[in-house]
Chain A
Amino acid sequence: MKKIVVPGELLTAERKRPGEHVFMQNGKLYSDVIGILDDKPGDVSVIALEGRYVPRMDDVIVGVVGSEKATGFMVDLNSFTQSFVSKKDIREQLKPGYIISARVLDVNELKEAELGQIRVFYGGEIISISPVKVPRVIGKNASMLDVLKRGTNSTILVGRNGWIWAKGGNVQLLIKLVEKIEREAHLENLTVKVQDFVANANKSVKPQAFAENPALEERKAVEKLDKELKGMVLNNESDSNGS
């Protein structure tokens, strides 16, 4: 069983390299968040179980366009502050409320992100999960994402910031699955459990296909991102309802 630690909990008095979410006090190492202890021979770190998104370089995020400024747009990406996108860097016409994906090009000392490679997505849903649990949504070698894709028939784009864009297929089931992952992120064999849940749900209720389906160019965009991001993104290839 993985050990869960709380803020201020003593991790070790041994000399180890403090990793993420570990701080030193009077020569001993303590956790600064609630999370899963990762105690290795040489270093010790804590994988946070809660918390807001802290932008990191090269992350792909899903954001929502906020207010328009003279030279660009503010984008909400579920972080401490909104990020700015310059009008110079975007080809599409943005409007407040539009859903976009973007890559974090740089992060300044105030942890504000500079965004690039903007793509716009029309329609669909944003499903929110704690950013620290995003790796669980993807799983080892995108195994979890694969289960989600097959189970729901949706086109899915997972942002590192904890926002998941989904369109088509059984989005309602996807929401339930993401909620399950969120709740049980700290448990083992999660992929198997989600698989069982999907099988159960599809047995009892015939999945009601979501009326809205992504346009071809949208799916292509996701497909392209998918290749770029090595399994971060899923395009549902078995989606037969596409135009």
Chain B
Amino acid sequence: MSSLVSWDFRTDKVLQAIREGKRLDARAFDQYRKINIVKNISENADGSARVKIGETDVIVGVKMITSTPFPDSPDAGTLNVGVELLPIASPTFEAGPPDKESIELARVVDRGIRESKCLDFKEWSIEEGTLCWTAFVDIYALNHDGNLFDAAALASIVSLLETKMPKLEDKKIVKGEYKGKIKLSRKPLLCTFAKIANSVVADPSLPEEKAQSARFSVAVTEDDYLTAFQKGGLGSFTASEIDSAIDIALKNTKEIRKQI
């Protein structure tokens, strides 16, 4: 309970700072925290990465698995994004089946990647109607200090860029042998904004998330396409707030992409 009291205390501080045109960590409203990317952190994964945005820490591992294609697209592989908000990462996370928070997070990351058409699922067909590749992208939050959305999306894209396609023999995966990396035609990244006291800030920290009335995420590609929106939180955005958030996202992702 002591932690709850201190958060409430900081919410006041966040609101006060934002009203004065400042952020508690002295960032500009459109500025990200320091981003740190480590590739290939797991030998067993077909692709993996660890991303830190400030203190927020996320790891992602990709496994390429053979499976049965969906009946409505028998000649295509598929993508499956899962999120585990480990109890390790925050005193408020609990073990157990995914709750609505982690489901939303997984689905927004999934949409950002899938809808950018960066993966050619047709190439992942092995035998029409019976066998295809599925990329299982599993996201694990290690430390929650705000903006898990962007960290998860960034780690997912970096992992997919590193993912190697396993070798097949008699429709069975040969363990440890690969035939090159999977292809990504685009690198969609997610940018999340918090609305706090009539201002909109990029990359909210945990105290800022506690103080936010609403959240808006937009996934953008390097060729300036928008591939996913998600508004969350109890408050609302005006149309012009959304528009300027999109502009900031297009600008910020250009910087972030240099680090990939």
- Chains A and B touch (C-beta atoms under 8 A apart): no
